[in-house]
Amino acid sequence: MEHQSETPGTAAAHKVWFITGASRGFGRVWTEAALKRGDKVAATARKLESITDFKDRYGDNVLTLELDVTNADQVKTAVEQAYAHFGRLDVVLNNAGYSLVGTIEEAGADDIRALYETNIIGPVAVIQAALPLLRKQGGGHILGTSSGLGHVTLPVIGYYCSSKWAFEAIHESLAAEVAAFNIKVTIIEPGAYATEFGSQESLKFAAGLDIYTDFKAKFVDGLKNSERGDPEATPDAVFKIVDAENPPLRLFLGSNNLPWVRKAYAERLASWEEWQSVSSAAQGQSK
């Protein structure tokens, strides 16, 4: 069950964040915004040099840590180091991730495993490392950066979409499991934004098959022409979530996700209802 939304009140006291993937995209934007508003941040990235500028500009308010989320031991060490350094963790934000470009036929098992290691297993490692500390301090807020593609899919990036569907399910179950410990969970679901997510560092490409060349070219051209939001417009929405007494389980970022998802769910419901007689017949006799 989702948390009940309510209109957020005034901003809460300064918070301590743990953020993965802080070197670019939303991770950098939200790290910068949190520091600008006076919060403290443990900022992590695979390459420490990519986030050292935060330390230069924000001094003791930021702790920069090198972190590969696919290394479970390094994850545990980083989370515990951040907790020891600041004395608490109010917000744990899983933001690291990338997209695998390739059709379902093209992507190899190693490509898919690597994607899931970063997009699913890594965030789970962060959550599992943080939970004992959040319980110890009496609560906290876990945020996960998903996508509108956690509800609908696109071709050519189907495995990325699948990783976000799994990410959504894990966080929804988590929310029910940790509510009794005063630990809140929110899934942040951005639409298309003008971030570095489309850069070579955020994309990996499966080996291609000639039969899909034209299809993929048309798909990529379509993406180039899609409307993209301004990532700098997003921090206020994230702050409203972390400052809310009863934050929602899910929050779309951008204006296009809701119409898209509403249409997709309407089509699913219509299909299920059309085939309901067949589904009911498959129930058989009650045992």
Q: Which residues are the active-site residues?
A: 146, 160, 164
Q: Rounded to two decimals, what is the model's pTM?
A: 0.91
| Mean per-residue pLDDT, 237-241 | 97
Calculate mean pLDDT across residues 103-111.
Answer: 96
pLDDT digits (tens, 9 = 90+) for 6-44: 333 334 479 999 999 999 999 999 999 999 999 999 999
Q: List, for residues 150-197, the tens digit of each pLDDT value.
A: 999 999 999 999 999 999 999 999 999 999 999 999 999 998 887 754
The percent of residues above 90 in pLDDT, for the chain, comes to: 83
Lowest mean pLDDT among 48-52, 70-74, 180-184, 224-228: 224-228
In three-state form (DSSP H/G/I as H, E/B as E, the rest C), the secondary structure along 129-154 is HHHHHHHHHCCEEEEEECCHHHCCCC
Of the candidates 247, 250, 218, 253, the one whose C-alpha atom is nearest the C-alpha of residue 234 is: 253
Instruction: Look at residue 3 in the predicted model and tell me its pLDDT.
Output: 39
| Average predicted confidence (pLDDT) for the chain | 92
**pLDDT at residue 152, as a whole number:** 96
Phi-psi region of 179 (alpha: psi -120 to 50; beta: other; left: phi over 0): alpha
pLDDT confidence band for 1 (50 / 70 / 90): very low
Query: Which residue bears the tokens 């994850």?
Result: 75
Q: How confident is the model at residue 220 (pLDDT cuts 50, 70, 90)?
A: confident
Give 114: exposed, middle or buried? Use CB within 10 Å, 0-12, 13-18, 19+: middle
Task: Give the number of C-alpha atoms closer than 13 A to the C-alpha of residue 239, restricted to the C-beta side.
Answer: 23
Q: Which fold has domain 16-281?
A: Rossmann fold (3.40.50)
Looking up tokens 């509403």 gives 262
pLDDT at 11: 43
